[in-house]
Structure 1
Amino acid sequence: MTNIHKELSLEQREQLFKTLKVRFEKNKHRHEGLEWAKVQTKIESRKEKLWSLNEMEETGGEPDVIGYDDKTDEYIFYDCSAESPKGRRSICYDREALEARKKHKPENSAIDMATAMGIELLTEEEYRELQRLEQFDLKTSSWVQTPDQIRKLGGAIFCDRRYDTVFMYHNGADSYYGARGFRGSLRV
């Protein structure tokens, strides 16, 4: 990741807030009724979340607010890049899958990267929720959280959108492709 100290400089913070605000204002359909000033105040009170948002941005995720949870008083960010984030592709599903590969190991795994970034992989349900906002992954695919029973058998699941339909597929957890990455979520 870009900064092992998990702290951003003043310049980095200002640039990230500028980027997030512009995206927020351009995509109001993703968060109707929410106000940027309240979102920014919340982020400013949670510095570690700001670092995670920067990691999402730096790896090509284009994070944006997609909702607000009244019960937990949290804003919900998802990666909203048109395709699976470029800086998170060509990775297998998790550490176990990475270590199981004998040849041609990828550099990382989706679970390890998400953990290091302080975010969660989208669930299949969250992925489908994101797709109701607009169309994503028309040329790529994204790993999503895999149920334990599938993972125990060596598999993992991923999703994409083709033919105006969201599909969920399976693959060996140790597989990786140049067009498959993962989308994350962050609650602030």
Structure 2
Amino acid sequence: MNKNNIKKKLSPQQCNELIKVLKTRFDKNLKRHKGFEWDKIQAKLEANPAKLWSLNAMEETGGEPDVVGFDKKTGEYIFYDCSPESPKERRSLCYDHDALEKRKEHKPADSAVNMAAEMGIELLTEEQYRELQQLGAFDTKTSSWVKTPADIRKLGGAVFCDRRYNTVFVYHNGAESYYAARGFRGLLRV
């Protein structure tokens, strides 16, 4: 994502195109959202242009966002990145801004936490990552940073997950590390 070209509003045509993409994905993956009605989701999307902008950012960076839940307390639909592998345009990132600042040479372009904030989304937690894995096999060749507990981060570490051997694994690394096959998955509440 080019930070300099960010406009936080989509044109009516962009909104319509994105809604078509999301509806097609919704229809193809009904097991992710049994009992949900697309018309209600679309009404929420149309009433929240800033959320549409964030969903578009998720889409443009390869996240393939889809509805995976509904929060009865807040009345919000929950979208996760559902791309088979960690979103392509969100890889080779260290964990957060502090980690980015600590790198003296070979700095990555950005950090996962910075990019998520810029997109208006949150990193998945380990628990949410495990919930996603109940919906299919994700990150079988890549890995994804997840929201790291403060006590781990305070000590310089960060947490990431992947799926190998039909099992979800949780790992740690220095927060300043970055790899071509590691990105991050996000969520958005609408």
Distance 2:117 2:138 in 1: 23
| 1:71 aligned residue | 73
- Distance apart, 1:4 and its partner CA: 2.0
Which runs of 5 or more structure 1 residues have no equivalent in the other structure? none
Whether 2:82 is the aligned partner of 1:80: answer yes
- Distance apart, 1:5 and its partner CA: 2.3
| 2:141 aligned residue | 139
SS in 2 for 1:133: coil
Counterpart AA for 2:17:
Q
Counterpart AA for 2:41:
V
Distance 1:90 1:162 in 2: 20
| 1:23 aligned residue | 25
Counterpart AA for 2:54:
S
Deviation digits for residues 39-78 of structure 1, max 9, x if unmatched?
A: 0000111110000000000000000000111111000000
SS in 2 for 1:32: coil
Whether 2:100 is the aligned partner of 1:98: answer yes
Deviation digits for residues 94-150 of structure 1, max 9, x if unmatched?
A: 000000001100000000000000000000000000001111000000000000110
SS in 1 for 2:148: coil
Q: How many pairs were matched up?
A: 188
C-alpha RMSD of matched pairs (Å) = 0.8
Q: Determine what percentage of the aligned residue pairs are the same residue.
A: 70
What pairs up with 1:24-173 in 2 under 5 angstroms?
A: 24-173=26-175
Distance 2:80 2:154 in 1: 27
SS in 1 for 2:15: helix
Instruction: Give the TM-score normalised by the residue count of structure 2.
Output: 0.97
Distance 2:15 2:27 in 1: 18
Instruction: Give the TM-score normalised by the residue count of structure 1.
Output: 0.98
Distance 1:86 1:47 in 2: 25
Distance 2:50 2:12 in 1: 14
Q: Which moved more, 1:1-10 or 1:133-142?
A: 1-10
Of the three residues 4, 14, 32, the one matched with 2:16 is: 14
Distance 1:67 1:7 in 2: 25
Which runs of 5 or more structure 2 residues have no equivalent in the other structure? none
Counterpart AA for 2:105:
K
